[in-house]
Amino acid sequence: MAKQKKAPRPKAQTPKGFRDYFGVEVSERAEMLRLITGVYHQYGFDALESSAVETVESLGKFLPDVDRPNEGVFAWQEFEEDGNGDWLALRYDLTAPLARVYAQHRNDLPTPYRRYTMGPVWRNEKPGPGRFRQFYQCDADTVGTASVAADAEICAMLSDTLEKVGIPRGDYIVRINNRKVLNGVLEAMGVTDEAQQANVLRTIDKFDKVGEAGVRELLGKGRLDASGAYIDGVGLTDEQSEPVVAFLTSKGASNDETLTNLRAAVGESTVGTEGIDELAEIANLLAAQSYGADRIVIDPSVVRGLGYYTGPVYEAELTFEILDEKGRKRQFGSVAGGGRYDDLVKRFTGQEVPATGVSIGVDRLLAALREKGRLSSEAQGPVVVTVMDKARMADYQTMVAELRQAGIRAEVYLGNPKNFGNQLKYADKRASPVAVIAGSDEFDKGLVQIKDLVLGAKIAENATLEEWKARPSQFEVPRSELVAKVKSILEEQD
Amino acid sequence: MAKQKKAPRPKAQTPKGFRDYFGVEVSERAEMLRLITGVYHQYGFDALESSAVETVESLGKFLPDVDRPNEGVFAWQEFEEDGNGDWLALRYDLTAPLARVYAQHRNDLPTPYRRYTMGPVWRNEKPGPGRFRQFYQCDADTVGTASVAADAEICAMLSDTLEKVGIPRGDYIVRINNRKVLNGVLEAMGVTDEAQQANVLRTIDKFDKVGEAGVRELLGKGRLDASGAYIDGVGLTDEQSEPVVAFLTSKGASNDETLTNLRAAVGESTVGTEGIDELAEIANLLAAQSYGADRIVIDPSVVRGLGYYTGPVYEAELTFEILDEKGRKRQFGSVAGGGRYDDLVKRFTGQEVPATGVSIGVDRLLAALREKGRLSSEAQGPVVVTVMDKARMADYQTMVAELRQAGIRAEVYLGNPKNFGNQLKYADKRASPVAVIAGSDEFDKGLVQIKDLVLGAKIAENATLEEWKARPSQFEVPRSELVAKVKSILEEQD
């Protein structure tokens, strides 16, 4: 007789590349999103929450990111008897759904349409350390206007938003560039071949890493990289390369100086001049609202997104230094980016609808705020009312009810109360600031014991015997003073 | 030569059964979830956000709902060269992920573990009118304690939550029942056959619809239903049916009276007595915290969930009347429900871990608040600063910046400004309360025109000529008084 196989137990495991978020990770993000959307709302942006699932057809299936054109989505086919069900997929960003929503509802939506949206997006990529297949985005876009006043507005809003969530002025900078200026530069260089234009784009994308000299080499004959490999160059003459280098290094001491440098870089190019005029208009609009160069600045060395966007591009960087994993100082870097794109809904309607928008990297921004200790930490656990006498559960519940009515986070220990040590271990795991203790003795005398767990831990660690005696961490008070005493202990802890 | 086919444009359409949410639909829900989680937090519950994607293996693939055992999930297979990739799926509720999370992280989590979670869930069901395949849930559960103090706590928290979001006392009731009491009733009836027990369960599930007499018929020989079809009965004798009917109708004028009635219904049954003792303890704990029968009450006619849960079950109903789609008055009904289940993680670990929890139907609760006009409506659009002179864009931007700094939602019109009528139509579509108008005339004189659009609309509808003259809806004020005047108009509109 064959042995009967027992069905194996399922593994309790998140799928590869996914993770769970606990406690303050969730509440801090929720609070940050609330602050961000508060600013967006005040700027006249309206909320949108599109469905997480889209048809593959309307999504376009692949990421628009030029570096990873083959990265995929999570997709499945709807069941239909004939096998011809629609293919559905989880959204991979919040821009593709905006395009679908705008095309679908355009007759009911105002024009221009300012909308913000936030939520998880999913990418079917190979997971890696710190690289997840589900993560948050928070976007704001203005659809249906070609006016660069919309770009300026989003940059101003981005600046306000960063300050609102706790990044002080001086610790961030919003930098603006324009794809049209780069197009002008290509025109000035006489680079008209599309493949060669793409090569130039790829090269300037490396400006951050290889610097001016490196870019010159890569535009010309090529370059030995750090690993010793030889990277072929684009094959331009030194003279041809000049406008690109001039473009990338044109940032002056003021916006005016930068714009003057750019005009020299693009020469006679019409599109280049148009791009510079747009930047000048943006600078002018921002100056009128007193956004100085300490907050928002024209900076042609911004290259991220130049390949994707069609007009102004902008990026918010945090400028304070942190230590990287190897203990070296480096700038925190980019937390938001965006720009203008003119073909948002063309796939659906055939019409060109100009749009501009920004995406905030929510998790990076949270990490930055944690790094700077700028999160109003809700990490504090609840006051724990311990259970000395199971029959007194109603009394313990009354205590927590009173504490909560006074605005204090509180709970009764609901595990097995037999081992009191376990109750204190529990309070420790919960990061409880205060434990309340009442047994039959206390009930008889109308008293409660209140233990300051934060002070208790400090004393246990550091204090001399004298200090220990002078600052008791446990107090016996009349039952009627429970709430007042807990409140005063919590206030002292802050 | 064959004609070349042009690729058709994708349809701009949400997938069947999915929808988008706009503006206040999103912000009102966010605000409600913030209030709910505020209460949960104060009760010592910690936030959890698990991944939206789970392995089908850990999810168990099918809904635990007895009525729809074959309803599915959205699932797909991970790509692996050998074709043996994991099957993944979108979560269909928030309890199955809790089971996986608790089993996976149990060594790091406190015991008991109180957690709340909220977010969308997905069901691969046939969509219908008002029936969507993605919707919100908001759950709170306590894992790892058998104490019914946990059940009482969740009922108290549910009551506090409903009042916090704007349902006044008297407009809702939390009702509690216990599966163990029903088990006692089955024991008292001598119904031990599992199939027959299931038949009895199915019958009492119809108590809401068919009433006491109907349940008697269905437990006995059967019943002609409204459509004329004959429904077979369970085949019990009248005497056997008595305890079920006694159970369902045992609600008395007070909890004490109800408990006395229940004791009669279960007779000598041990499990029944245990269930009644649990209800008595819950009633006692709640009374100690002054939750009277006007908020939380023992009610054995609660049958929803009795088939699924293993101990106390609870349900929150809104008791005010609304008009249904046919204009008939009916009670709004259930907005939350939950109960105790003892096998949460057994599938994963083999261990029984008791748990109890509640799920709030977020969308139904929002609908109820809308029905009662109790949402602090953010429906008001922004103040729109119109554009009379494109060259003055910086001035208009400065106006909205000033308005925002004063806490007023405001925006500049960014569409094509040529047709002023379109700007006012836009303001109308945005539900703008106020429009600001300034052309070269005004700039020359240092003035602005401010139009009260709410009053303007009212006057246009109702006013006599005298009223119209006496209450002008358009004001000319010095530029320096822009913010103050807009503020005073908005205050008058409230």
pLDDT 10s digits, A335-382 = 999 999 988 889 899 999 999 999 999 989 998 998 887 775 556 799
Interface test mutation site (partner A, options B35, B53, B105, B133, max chain A beta carbons within 10 A): B53
3-state secondary structure of A269: coil
The 10s digit of each residue's pLDDT in B136-164 is 999 999 999 999 999 999 999 999 999 99
The 10s digit of each residue's pLDDT in A37-59 is 999 999 999 999 999 999 988 88
Over residues A201-229, the mean pLDDT reads 88
**Beta-carbon contacts of residue B107 (< 8 Å; ≥ 6 apart):** none
Statement: residue B465 has pLDDT above 70:
no
Statement: residue A206 has pLDDT above 80:
yes
If asked whether residues B29 and B158 sit together in one domain, one would say yes
The 10s digit of each residue's pLDDT in B20-36 is 999 999 999 999 999 99
If asked whether residues A253 and A309 sit together in one domain, one would say yes
Where is mean pLDDT largest: A399-413, B218-232, B303-317?
A399-413
Q: Is A406 on the interface with B (CB under 8 A)?
A: no
Q: What DSSP character marks residue B139? A: E
- The secondary structure of A395-409 as a DSSP string is HHHHHHHHHHHTT--
Statement: residue B315 has pLDDT above 90:
yes
> Count of CB atoms within 10 A of residue B29's CB?
20
Task: Say if residues A66 and A308 touch (Cβ distance below 8 Å).
Answer: yes
CATH number, position B436: 3.40.50.800
Whether residues B411 and A37 touch (CB distance < 8 A) is answered with no
Statement: residue B42 has pLDDT above 60:
yes
> Is position B164 within any domain?
yes
State the pLDDT at residue B67.
43
CB pairs under 8 A between A and B: 289
Statement: residue A63 has pLDDT above 80:
no
- Name the phi and psi angles at B322, rounded to 5: -125, 170
Comparing A346-360, A394-408, A411-425, B69-83, the range with the smallest average pLDDT is: B69-83
CB contacts under 8 A, A 425-454 vs B, are 426, 429-430
> Where a domain ends, among B371, B396, B424?
B371
> Is position B16 within any domain?
no
- Name the phi and psi angles at B25, rounded to 5: -55, -40
**Beta-carbon contacts of residue B148 (< 8 Å; ≥ 6 apart):** B278, B281, B282, B285, B311, B312, B340
State the pLDDT at residue B376.
59
Statement: residue B125 has pLDDT above 80:
yes
State the pLDDT at residue B94.
95
State the pLDDT at residue B6.
64
If asked whether residues A325 and A348 sit together in one domain, one would say no
The residue among B346 and A81 whose pLDDT is bigger is B346
> Is position A406 within any domain?
yes
Task: Say if residues A123 and B42 touch (Cβ distance below 8 Å).
Answer: no
Statement: residue B329 has pLDDT above 90:
no
Two structure tokens written together for B113: 């573990």
If asked whether residues B319 and B462 sit together in one domain, one would say no
- The confidence band for A240, taking pLDDT boundaries of 50, 70 and 90, is confident
Over residues A444-473, the mean pLDDT reads 78
C-alpha dihedral sign at B181, B182, B187, B188: positive
If asked whether residues A348 and A288 sit together in one domain, one would say no
> Is position B435 within any domain?
yes
Interatomic CA distance for residues A169 and A173, integer angstroms: 8
Statement: residue B470 has pLDDT above 80:
no
The range of the structural domain enclosing residue A201 comes to 163-329
Over residues A238-249, the mean pLDDT reads 90
If asked whether residues A230 and A357 sit together in one domain, one would say no
Residue A188: enclosing H or E segment and its boundaries?
helix A179-189
State the pLDDT at residue A4.
56
Interface test mutation site (partner B, options A16, A21, A22, A295, max chain B beta carbons within 10 A): A22
State the pLDDT at residue B66.
39
Partner residue opposite A9 with nearest CB, options B15, B53, B348 = B348
Interface test mutation site (partner A, options B45, B49, B57, B153, max chain A beta carbons within 10 A): B49
> Is position A336 within any domain?
no
Whether residues B55 and A147 touch (CB distance < 8 A) is answered with no
State the pLDDT at residue A266.
93
Whether residues A378 and B41 touch (CB distance < 8 A) is answered with yes
State the pLDDT at residue A465.
60
The 10s digit of each residue's pLDDT in A143-179 is 999 999 999 999 999 999 999 999 999 999 999 999 9
* Mode of pairing for the β-strands spanning A222-224 and A230-232: antiparallel
CATH number, position B144: 3.30.930.10
* Average pLDDT over chain B, rounded to an integer: 89
Statement: residue A1 has pLDDT above 50:
no
What residues of chain A lie within 8 A of the CB of B288, using their CB? Answer: 394-395, 397-398
State the pLDDT at residue B72.
83
How close, in Å, is residue A13 to chain B by CA atoms?
6
> Is position A389 within any domain?
yes
The 10s digit of each residue's pLDDT in B270-298 is 999 999 999 999 999 999 999 999 999 99
- The confidence band for B65, taking pLDDT boundaries of 50, 70 and 90, is very low
- The confidence band for A489, taking pLDDT boundaries of 50, 70 and 90, is very high
State the pLDDT at residue A378.
52
Interatomic CA distance for residues A61 and A40, integer angstroms: 29
State the pLDDT at residue A80.
79
3-state secondary structure of B388: coil
Q: Is A379 on the interface with B (CB under 8 A)?
A: no
Statement: residue A476 has pLDDT above 60:
yes
Q: Is A349 on the interface with B (CB under 8 A)?
A: yes
Burial of B373 (0-12, 13-18, 19+ CB in 10 A): exposed
**What percent of chain B stands above pLDDT 70?**
93
> Where a domain ends, among A354, A379, A404?
A379
Over residues B170-192, the mean pLDDT reads 93
Task: Say if residues A98 and A54 touch (Cβ distance below 8 Å).
Answer: no
Comparing CA positions, the residue from B20, B33, B199 lying closest to residue B119 is B33
Q: What DSSP character marks residue B124? A: B
3-state secondary structure of B89: strand
Tokens 């609009």 appear where? A285
> Is position A375 within any domain?
yes
3-state secondary structure of B322: strand
> Is position A11 within any domain?
no
State the pLDDT at residue B59.
86
If asked whether residues B179 and B222 sit together in one domain, one would say yes
- The confidence band for B85, taking pLDDT boundaries of 50, 70 and 90, is confident
* Mode of pairing for the β-strands spanning B355-360 and B410-412: unpaired
Question: What's the gap between Cα A372 and its chain centre?
Answer: 15
* Average pLDDT over chain A, rounded to an integer: 89
> Where a domain ends, among B371, B406, B439?
B371
If asked whether residues A92 and A37 sit together in one domain, one would say yes
> Which residues on adjacent β-strands are paired with residue B317?
B173, B334
Statement: residue B377 has pLDDT above 60:
no
Q: Is A55 on the interface with B (CB under 8 A)?
A: yes
Give pairs for B76-83: CB < 8 Å, separation 24+. B76/A74, B76/A75, B76/A76, B78/A15, B78/A16
State the pLDDT at residue A466.
66
Q: What DSSP character marks residue B135? A: E
Amino acid identity of residue A354, one-letter, is P
Our count of domains for chain B comes to 2
State the pLDDT at residue A374.
72
Interface test mutation site (partner A, options B6, B14, B61, B151, max chain A beta carbons within 10 A): B14
C-alpha dist (Å) from residue A388 to A381, A440, B81, B148, B185:
21, 8, 59, 17, 35
Tokens 């011809």 appear where? A84
If asked whether residues A197 and A346 sit together in one domain, one would say no
If asked whether residues B116 and B216 sit together in one domain, one would say yes
Over residues B160-185, the mean pLDDT reads 96
> Which residues on adjacent β-strands are paired with residue B230?
B224
If asked whether residues A121 and A172 sit together in one domain, one would say no
Over residues B197-214, the mean pLDDT reads 88
Comparing B60-69, B207-216, B247-256, B476-485, the range with the smallest average pLDDT is: B60-69
Task: Say if residues A244 and A303 touch (Cβ distance below 8 Å).
Answer: no
Over residues A281-298, the mean pLDDT reads 95
The 10s digit of each residue's pLDDT in A107-125 is 999 999 999 999 999 999 8
If asked whether residues B233 and B86 sit together in one domain, one would say yes
Whether residues B394 and A284 touch (CB distance < 8 A) is answered with yes
